[in-house]
Amino acid sequence: MTLTLAAAFAPYEELARQLIAHATDSDDGSHDIAHILRVFRNAMRIHAKEGGNGEVLTAAVLLHDCVAVEKNSPLRAQASRLAADKASGILTGMGWEKAAIEAVAHAITTHSFSANIQPETLEAKILQDADRLDAIGMVGAARCFYIAGRMGSGLYDPIDPLAKERALDDKSFAIDHFEVKLFKLADGFQTEAGRALAGERHERLKQIRDMFLDEIQG
C-alpha cells in the first residue's frame, strides 16, 4: 500500500485529508507541506509528554501557515492573525464547535515569533514550541539560508562576518540571523518537553555556525 501524505499525519489522517488542501498557499519552500509535517511530528513528541487535545493541536498545526506573508512584508506581524481568521472559517464550514475553533485560532494566533503574543492554552504552547523547533538545529539553519536566498540576501559580510564593528543586519546577511533571532529562540520555549528538544537543537545550531565561520575564515 502506497503511503499517502495524509497517512503521515496518523493518528489524525482523516483530519489531515480534510485540511491539507488548505495548509499552505505559497511557493515558499520553508513554509511548505514538509514544514507542516515536521511541525506535526515535533508537536506529537511534545504532546506525548505534555498532554492536551490532539485534534485541536493537529488542526492548528495543519492550518498555522494557511495564509502566506513573506518575511519582508509589512504585514508579517499580522500573518498569524490572518491565518487564524482563515482557519476559523474553514473549521466553521466543517461543522466544528465554537469552543474548539476558538482553541485552534488562539494556538495559530500565538504561535508566531513576529506576533509576540503569549500562548495561554497547552495546545497553543505546544504549537509554538513545535514550530520554533523547526527554526533551530540543522533544519533551522537550512531554512535560514534558503530564506536568505529567496529574499536576495548575501551569506555573510566578507569584511566583518561576526559584526564586530558593524550593526547586525539579517536582511543583508544570512549568518547575522543566527544572532538576531535563532540563538534567542531556545530561551523562550513554553513546555518542559519542548525545552529539552530545543536545548539539543540549539547546540547543533551553534556547531553549524562555528563550522561555517571556520570554513569562510580559512
pTM, rounded to two decimals:
0.92
Closest CA to 22 of 100, 75, 84, 90: 90
pLDDT for the residue numbered 72: 64
Angle of helix 192-217 versus helix 33-50 axis, rounded to 10: 140
CATH of 135-218, one of 3.20.20.70, 1.20.58.1910, 1.10.8.590, 2.30.29.30: 1.20.58.1910
pLDDT for the residue numbered 1: 35
CA distances from 63 to 14, 94, 126, 166 (A): 15, 14, 14, 39
Cell matching residue 89: 472559517
* Distance separating alpha carbons of residues 42 and 165, to the nearest angstrom: 38
* Distance separating alpha carbons of residues 61 and 36, to the nearest angstrom: 7
SS (H, E, C) 59-85: HHHHHCCCCCCCCCCCCHHHHHHHHHH
pLDDT for the residue numbered 68: 80
Which run of H or of E encompasses 214? helix 192-217
Residues of the chain with pLDDT under 70: 1-3, 70-76
